[in-house]
Amino acid sequence: MQAYAPPPASNSSNSRALPLILGLAAVLIVLIGIGAIVGFALVGGNNDTETPQASANEPAPADNPQASGQEQNNQSTEASRPPTEQELAVGDSVEVEGVEATLNGVRILPTTDFDQPLENPDNRFLAADLTFENVSDEAISISSLLELVLKNEAGYSASQTFHSQQRELAEGEISPGQKASGEIVYEVPPESRGLQLDYKPFARGGTYTWTIGDPQGIATAPQPEETTSSPEPTVIAPPAASDTEVAEAAKDYYQAVDREDWAYTYANLDASTRTLYPEDEWYLKNQYFADTEDLELSTIDVVVEGSTSDPEVGVNVYRTFTGGSSIDRYTLFVEEDGAWKHRFTGEENAIFQPGVPYDNFVASQ
């Protein structure tokens, strides 16, 4: 009888260990998954509540974006706002670079047979009474044409003109410690509103504004009085100069202009005009016009306006030139020391710009 070997012994301990290991691994995986889910949830919650930090390239957002934007807008508005101009009232003074300027007062001058508005017959003559004092150690120059502008509230500028009752301002150079006072006259529409006089000192910068207001509230100077008195004893007066003498004086003057004889023209200016122009300034500015216009006189006619017994006599000068061009000019002549001398009108002073240095005069043309 054949003997059989006994069956091998089974490894029951190994069989039981394997399921146990697999079970523990599954539990561990589940725990790791739960931990990951909880961690993501916590991180997501922090992102909803915390303020993001600034990175190296991106600034952190402001706590109040609306307030920050408003502050930036305010800063931008302030940066773009023009510098404030200094505002003054009638009677106030301002000192700029050694010049003390004062607007003493304003008045309306009457329209007369001699003083008529040029731009509109309804316009009025506004006179601004000013004083300029040199409080520096050096001579200074003033020019109403370049440094003063009368404007209304809409920004329109008025034209400077001349009036027979005007207290004329001696413009030009003022020595240290000296003053120059007088009136500048402007032609303004009667319906003007919010008039102001802007002072822009030449080459000294800044704008200084005197507020004047409406012309309706400005006092009007009285008309020249016509005296009616008892008859005076008859006095035989010396014969009045004839129109011919005035016309001849005007022709001689403008013929000297044509031949560029500035010494003759300067000597035949009346005293009030000559004080406005130093002799070298007179020569330079007249020579500038002669060189620029390059005209040769062909004919000249003079018509005397008014009476030669008046303090100043108006004349119309009509000139024609070779080539066909012509120039008509209204100007004044006055009798001084037995001779008729040329007096500039406000328009002529505006052309020659008294007191303005020659280089600046040329640059303004």
pLDDT in tens, 69-99: 545 544 444 443 334 467 899 999 999 888 9
Range in 60-64, 225-229, 345-349 the model is least confident about: 60-64
Q: Please say if the pLDDT value at position 294 is more than 80.
A: yes
Please give the Cα distance from 54 to 57 (Å, whole number): 8
Residue 236: the pLDDT is 44
Res 226: pLDDT: 53
Q: What is the pLDDT of residue 225?
A: 59
> pLDDT for 114-156, tens place per residue?
899 988 999 999 999 999 999 999 998 888 888 899 999 988 8
Mean pLDDT, to the nearest integer, of 187-194?
91
**Over residues 205-227, mean pLDDT:** 77
Higher pLDDT, 240 or 115: 115
Q: How confident is the model at residue 172 (pLDDT cuts 50, 70, 90)?
A: confident
φ, ψ for residue 193, nearest 5 deg: -130, 145
Tokens of 54: 């600034």
* Rounded alpha-carbon distances, angstroms, from residue 181 to 134, 233, 363: 12, 40, 27
Higher pLDDT, 36 or 210: 210
Q: Where are the domains of the chain?
A: 86-217, 243-364
Is the pLDDT at 331 greater than 80? The verdict is yes
Sequence-separated (6 or more) residues with CB below 8 Å from residue 156: none
Tokens of 263: 């010494």
Report the pLDDT value the prediction gives residue 3, as an integer from 0 to 100.
46
How confident is the model over 314-325, as a mean pLDDT? 93
CA-CA distance, 117 to 124, in Å (whole number)?
7
Q: What is the mean pLDDT of residues 187-205?
A: 86
Measure the CA–CA gap between 305 and 229, rounded to whole angstroms. 28
Q: Domain 243-364 belongs to what topology? A: Nuclear Transport Factor 2; Chain: A, (3.10.450)
- For residue 176, pLDDT over 70 is answered with yes
Q: Which CATH class is domain 86-217?
A: mainly beta
Distance CA 3, CA 303 (A): 172
Q: What 3-state DSSP class applies to 352?
A: helix
Beta strands across the sheet bearing 195-199: 86-89, 208-213, 195-199, 148-151
Cα separation, 150 vs 270, whole angstroms: 29
